[in-house]
Every structure is written in structure tokens, then in C-alpha cells.
Amino acid sequence: MIIENKVKNVQKIIKKNKCNGKEICLIPTMGSLHKGHFFLIEEALKKSGEIWVSIFVNPTQFNDLDDYKNYPKSINDDINKIKVLSDKICIFSPSLKEMYPNDVKHDTFNFGYIDSIMEGEFRSNHFNGVATIVSKLFEIFKPDFTFFGEKDFQQALIIKKIINKTFKKTKLIICNTVREKNGLAISSRNQLLSEKKFIKSAIIYKMLVFAKDNIGKISMQKLKKIIYSNINKLPGFELEYLDFRDTNYLKKVTNLNSNENIRVFICVIVDGVRLIDNIKLK
């Protein structure tokens, strides 16, 4: 199993393998690997290429220092989990200095409207940070395929923009959200919840399904009112946003009966832990 932490070494390996006609699959992660990541890896294993999982908790995408410090980190565990899946998977686990040799600063991108809403609105410069690290990784790996989860749908659209502008040869594969038995979207942050709050957080997916089941039966205003009230009445729960948006540009939808493809997006803060989710309504 290859485990590398130096950019130069990775580039050497990639160059050699590309010359031998191997395709490169890249799965960028911040570690604390869970079933959601394993699903991305399984999708990558369906391709014939060489699979690289990068593990790096990227400070420039956190706008809150405590959130960065509290973000779960477990590199040895992660390596062992990957070994169990397949010893053919390569790991890139760089140091902070390796990824940010000079200043630990994000670059500034212009993603326009898509960066001004939802996660972009509530976490200033979050997507600049994500785009900075993902661009660095794409630069190193020049991947043929890269895999991202649908749970972070807005992030996936940002990645699409980066690819369309700068890394046109890379193919973005967006994989379905993997859920806990109670419906909660799997995320590294779930382990920061108490057992009680983990169980109660099932309300988030339940409310998304409620919206899907009642589209066309209840007005959007009423749907929103019911969902806000069901979530905010739980102690420690605070609904940050609940938006109905079109799938392509994330423009707000005002009429749920329109012909557009619509998704509902939600963010709930549970005892300070930020949980996001979304599902396709139609």
C-alpha cells in the first residue's frame, strides 16, 4: 500500500503511471473516514484506474478556529480502514507545510451567485478555502476522475466550476448520499453529537422527506413553517436555512409546481454541530 506525504513523490508516481496509460482517480477527503467516503471509494474501484485518497484537514475552509480544532482527526485509523477495503488504494496525507509552504491563506475565486448563498452566506470564504485546496490537489494529481458526495451538493457545483475553468480533462463523479439507519446523512461531524442528539437528528431527513411527500399538496410557505417549527422546538436544535432551489444554478424556486428540477437544502445546528443535507424533490 502506498502512503505518501510529499507532493514531489506523488508527482513522480503519477507521472510514471500516466505514462503507462493508467487513469488516476482522486478522492479528496479531510479524513475521519466513514461509510460516505467508502461509498466514494467503491465507486472509484469500479474504474480501472489507480485510486488515490487524499487526507488533509484544510484550515483555510474553516471560518471558525474552534470548528477547525474540533474537527475529528484520526489518520492511523483512516489508513487501517482503507487497508481493509483494498491494499491497492494509495493515500496522500500531507502536512500543513507541504500544502501551504508559505502563508496558510486561501486564494480568492469568483464563483458569483453560487458562493453567496447557503454555505457561502453563512461560512464566509468557505468555498474559497475548498477551491484553494482542491485546485492544489488537482494540480498535483491531474486526475482523470474525481469523486464527491451529493450531501455537499453546493460544494460539488463549485468543484464543477473549477473543473470547467481549469481542469477540463477531469471528470466529476457525484455519488449518492449515504445515510445512517435513522436517515441522518453520514458525516464526520456526526461523531461530535451526543447519542441523544444523534437519535433526534433523524428529524432532519424526516423533514426533507416530508417536503418531498407534500410537494403540490401544501404550499411552500406552509411547508417551511411546519419544518421550522418541528426542528426549532427541539432543545439544542436551530434551523439555519431551508431553501427550495433549482438543481442547476441553485436559484431560489418560488413555485413548487414549476417544471424545474428542484432540490430542498437544509442546515441545522445541533448543539453547535453543523449538519447539512439535501434531497431531490423533482
Instruction: Judge whether 37 counts as a catalytic residue.
Output: yes
With binding defined as CB under 6 A, does residue 4 bind ligand PAF? Answer: no
Q: Segment 30-59, which members bind ligand PAF (CB under 6 A)?
A: 30, 58
> What character string, x for contact with ligand PAF (CB under 6 A) and - otherwise, covers 58-97?
x--x------------------------------------
Between residues 160 and 282, which has the closer beta carbon with respect to ligand PAF? 160
Q: Using the rule CB under 6 A, is 120 a contact of ligand PAF?
A: no
Which residue in 50, 78, 152, 260 binds ligand PAF (CB under 6 A)?
Answer: 152
**By the rule CB under 6 A, 28 interacts with ligand PAF:** yes
Residue 179, burial from CB neighbour count under 10 angstroms (0-12, 13-18, 19+): middle
Binding characters for ligand PAF, 191-230, by CB under 6 A (x = yes): ----------------------------------------
Q: Could you tell me the smallest distance in angstroms from the CB atom of residue 30 to ligand PAF? A: 4
Residue 231 sits in the site that holds ligand PAF (CB under 6 A): no
Is 134 a binding residue for ligand PAF by CB under 6 A? The answer is yes
**Interacting residues with ligand PAF (CB under 6 A):** 28-30, 58, 61, 130, 133-134, 152, 155
Enumerate the active-site residues.
Answer: 37
